[in-house]
Amino acid sequence: MALVGIGAPWEHQAAAAELAVAGRSVVVATGTASGKSLAYLLPVLSGLVSGEPATALYLAPTKALAADQLRSVRALGLPDVRAATYDGDTPPAERDWVRAHANLVLTNPDMLHRGMLPGHPRWAAYLRRLRYVVVDECHAYRGVFGSHVAQVLRRLARVCDRYGAAPTFLLASATVSEPAASAGRLVGVPVSEIIDDASPRGATEFALWEPPMSDLVGEREMLVRRSATAEAADLLAHLVADGTRTLAFVRSRRGAEAVALAAQRALREAVPELADRVAAYRAGYLPEERRALEVALQRGDLLGLAATSALELGVDVAGLDAVVLAGFPGRVASVWQQAGRAGRAGRSSLAVLVASDDPLDSYLVHHPEALFGRPVEATVLDPDNPYVLGPHLCAAAAELPLTESDLDRFGPATDGVLTKLVDRGLLRRRPAGWFWTRRERACDLADIRSVGGPPIRLVEASTGRLLGTVDNSAAHSTVHEGAVYLHQGESYVVRSLDLAEDVALVEPDDPDYSTSARDLTDIAVVEALKTEQCPEVCLHFGTVDVTRQVVSYLRRRLLTGEILGEVGLDLPARRLRTRAVWWTATAALLERAGLDREDVAGAAHAAEHASIGLLPLFATCDRWDIGGVSMAMHPDTGRTTVFVYDGSPGGAGFAERGYAAGRSWLKATQEAIAGCGCDSGCPSCVQSPKCGNGNSPLNKAGASRLLRAVVEELGPAPA
Ligand SMILES: [Zn+2]
Ligand SMILES: [Zn+2]
């Protein structure tokens, strides 16, 4: 199967610049990491408008990317461009200079939210002339984080409006489906799209690789497949032994190191002189170290490099002979981005996706058309989520009192949310509008990287050093006692989690296993917002109350995935009001699916697990962003019901996307189950690593029949 290569982005950039100069917001969607080329657009634009004293703002999802871009811009040596980063690392003295003199400010949404917008009077001169806002890597703004950033950008446009400026948005995205629609939802104004036509650059053979069953026994005595990491290490060693310059993408840094080590070990036996031409690459390296590795690989001094996806953002390695992906990287767009590192003009190259033990991976290796023949996922975000919108309305009111004329800008939910904020005493309604009258900083109400309660602080136990924070809603499952936690590429083990103090004490440690938490969940329907009714099946989207309790965690060996044991945890249950998609089946449908009474619970449970695994194919989530519940008879529906819900308060848009793609999603789920070669269920189809019921009961064959009957009953999509 041939993969079309990626051409030079220049023409698209030029076309985008033309639109932007005419004042039309535009998104450029390209197959490769778009950040690098975009920087060149800014000076181009500044040059175009050099007659006027215009300014531009560049937003990157990470400080590191903004710093990289600053280096690229400065390297151009354009005298009229006064570029500077403005972020948490900028010294106070320099901040004054940036505000007074820079005409290109590179920052991140966090700084815009906490620094620039609340302090907008000090930026008046800059904002008054703000002509362009560049949003780089905009596909990174998805889910709850994306919804927050969408509201921060609405606040920016509103403040600019006050200064008489109406900046044009220029967005750069990886390939996603409907880029203009996603970008428009993000920035809140209509956006035109320019899509890279991916002109060929040498043919890339693309292989989909399903590891064989191993002799390792997993849960419920079921055999499991050989791990993607172990297979990737073998592939890397073989390719390097043939003199092929190969880059292997592995999900975790520890995994990348394990792949590099295993490949070196294999080479030491087969071709000893090549063993030290394989290395690991990780996010923690200094820029010089990264550069040295990139150059070594580019020149061929290094033949094999195992990297984490940190490489995906703005780093310069291309034109390799082969790329190995250990496990589906989570998004179809990422597959193209990573595979796009292979291929040079006039030479053939190879990309291999090795399936990990996950229903989505196993679906993809059996359904190449899902990778090659369909548009990539849509970027999902939901700026109307009241849990996101509320704090930003407070922040906006603190920046400038809100008036009736602002209601449209913040979306249809604004009116209702404002009333609640007034009732809670956070805003005051006066004839002139809504006012923030409290003493604290309104922007502190929104932590744009998380929702739901105060963040949990990660503290190094021996030194008392604060390492960072973890989302409150994720804390029980990620920083419970005994958890292995990766923080900025470094590995820690959690000593204790103090819920009263919101602190997790950790120690640096690098065990050869990973941990995954398991939870028990209950769900109650609050309200169905959308319903599609067939005689024997109903599909719903709506509001639910989820009660979730993390009860234990599993330890798995890194290279093989072997389960080392399960450890019980004593954590309280948590309540969550969120959004869910759910479907119900009548007794008649169960009969049609040939399910006996005692088969139903296992069939629904297996269908739930696999459908959670497949949702990321339709929405930009991973399976840890969502959860599920299934019951042979749910008290709120009176029928067999399977729920899949958004894991953060108020929802993130994933369940809604599942509802919209209901037929295709459930059909793909059925095919994933039916296509797995295992006997009666394995991690590649219906077993879930986070099941609080220990993956019991599960009925693989029953789930396949049930889903087939459900999809048949739903029929073709209404026109
Ligand atoms: Zn299976
Ligand atoms: Zn389960």
DSSP for 19-73 reads HHHTT--EEEEESS--HHHHTTHHHHHHHHTTTS--EEEEE-SSHHHHHHHHHHH
| pLDDT over 50 (residue 668) | yes
Provide mean pLDDT across the span 353-363: 88
CA 624 to mean position of chain CA atoms: 10
pLDDT band at 4 (very low <50, low <70, confident <90, very high): very low
Cα angle: 544, vertex 546, 551; to 5 degrees: 165
Nearby residues for ligand 2 (ion, Cβ within 5 Å): 691, 693
Residue 145 CA to ligand 2 centre (angstroms): 27
pLDDT at 697: 93
Residue 677 CA to ligand 1 centre (angstroms): 6
Q: Give pTM, 2 decimals.
A: 0.74
Residue 191 CA to ligand 1 centre (angstroms): 43
Place of tokens 């679906």: 363
Place of tokens 């990660």: 458
* Alpha-carbon gap, residue 579 to 657, rounded angstroms: 11
pLDDT band at 358 (very low <50, low <70, confident <90, very high): confident
Structure tokens at 289: 């170290």
Provide mean pLDDT across the span 168-188: 87
CA distances from residue 64 to 98, 150, 190, 287, 641 in whole angstroms, order as listed: 18, 21, 29, 10, 45
Pairing between strand 104-107 and 83-85? Answer: parallel
The Cβ-side half-sphere exposure at 265, using a 13 Å CA radius, reads 9
* Alpha-carbon gap, residue 504 to 202, rounded angstroms: 50
Find the Cα–Cα–Cα–Cα dihedral 389, 395, 401, 406, rounded to 10°. -30
SS3 249: strand
| pLDDT over 90 (residue 395) | yes
Structure tokens at 581: 């998609």
Place of tokens 């030491």: 268
Q: Cis link prior to 572 (omega < 30° from 0)?
A: no
pLDDT at 265: 92
Residue 664 CA to ligand 2 centre (angstroms): 22
Most confident of 131-135, 339-343, 539-543: 539-543
* Alpha-carbon gap, residue 651 to 645, rounded angstroms: 8
DSSP output for 207-242: EEEPPPEEEEE-GGG-EEEPPHHHHHHHHHHHHHHT
* Alpha-carbon gap, residue 591 to 597, rounded angstroms: 9
Residue 675 CA to ligand 1 centre (angstroms): 8
Q: Considering the chain, what percentage of its residues have pLDDT values greater than 70?
A: 89
* Alpha-carbon gap, residue 338 to 236, rounded angstroms: 15
SS3 285: coil
Strand partners, 352: 207, 324
**What's the pLDDT tens digit per position in 478-526?**
899 999 987 765 789 999 999 888 999 999 988 888 898 888 899 999 9
Specify burial of residue 172 (Cβ count, 10 A radius: 0-12, 13-18, 19+). Answer: buried
Pairing between strand 349-354 and 466-470? Answer: unpaired
DSSP state of 115: I
Structure tokens at 480: 């419970």
Check if the beta carbon of residue 612 is closer than 8 Å to that of residue 623. yes
| pLDDT over 60 (residue 201) | no
Ligand that lies nearest to the alpha carbon of residue 701, given by its number in the listed order? 1
Residue 357 CA to ligand 2 centre (angstroms): 16
* Alpha-carbon gap, residue 234 to 14, rounded angstroms: 43
Phi/psi of residue 515, each to 5°? -120, 150
**What's the pLDDT tens digit per position in 83-129?**
999 998 889 889 999 999 999 999 999 999 999 999 999 999 999 99
Check if the beta carbon of residue 393 is closer than 8 Å to that of residue 446. no
Length of the chain: 719
Residue 251 CA to ligand 1 centre (angstroms): 22
Question: If you average pLDDT over every residue of the chain, what do you get?
Answer: 86
* Alpha-carbon gap, residue 329 to 353, rounded angstroms: 9
Residue 690 CA to ligand 1 centre (angstroms): 16
pLDDT at 33: 47
pLDDT band at 643 (very low <50, low <70, confident <90, very high): very high
The Cβ-side half-sphere exposure at 402, using a 13 Å CA radius, reads 30
Residue 215 CA to ligand 1 centre (angstroms): 15
Check if the beta carbon of residue 187 is closer than 8 Å to that of residue 153. yes
Structure tokens at 647: 């894991």
More confident residue, 502 or 472: 502
Cα–Cα nearest to 457, from 512, 496, 509, 405 = 496
Helix residue ranges per DSSP H, 271-358:
287-299, 332-339
Residue 491 CA to ligand 2 centre (angstroms): 28
